[in-house]
């Protein structure tokens, strides 16, 4: 199936910003929804931001003032802008895409990109 690869993570100081990208190995033409999730060691995976194919967004309260999800293209479908990062934002961040491919419904996940916020 289509592979997703996240990029844009790395080491950043508190208060800094990062922009995460999600690249698909082939164009995804029938996307139903997309999202970014994160998981820190010892914690459950949690939603960071979600967006539907008509542009409606949702954010948990702790993210909505600092994080922005946006749609891209068929090969780079979704981005996440993260501002004023804090140490508690340290986690592996994953993109997720729900799509119809070849007449079947798929939930696609990347392998994650590590974001480390530390001084």
Q: 76-79: list long-range contacts, CB under 8 Å, 24+ apart.
A: 76/21, 76/22, 76/23, 76/24, 77/22, 77/24, 77/28, 77/31, 77/34, 78/22, 78/34, 78/35, 78/36, 78/51, 79/19, 79/20, 79/21, 79/22
> What pLDDT sits at residue 62?
82
For the chain, 119 residues long, the average pLDDT of each consecutive 10-residue run is 94 98 93 96 95 92 90 93 96 96 93 97
């Amino acid at each position: 199936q289509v592979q997703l690869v996240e990029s844009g993570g790395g080491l950043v100081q508190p208060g800094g910003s990062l922009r995460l990208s999600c690249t698909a190995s082939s164009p995804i033409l029938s996307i139903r929804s997309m999202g970014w999730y994160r998981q820190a060691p010892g914690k459950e995976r949690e939603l960071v931001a979600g967006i539907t194919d008509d542009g409606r967004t949702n954010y948990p309260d702790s993210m909505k003032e600092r994080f922005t999800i946006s749609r891209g293209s068929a090969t780079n479908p979704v981005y996440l802008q993260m501002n004023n990062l804090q140490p508690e934002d340290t986690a592996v961040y994953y993109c997720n895409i729900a799509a119809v491919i070849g007449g079947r419904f798929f939930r696609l996940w990347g392998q994650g990109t590590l974001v480390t916020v530390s001084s």
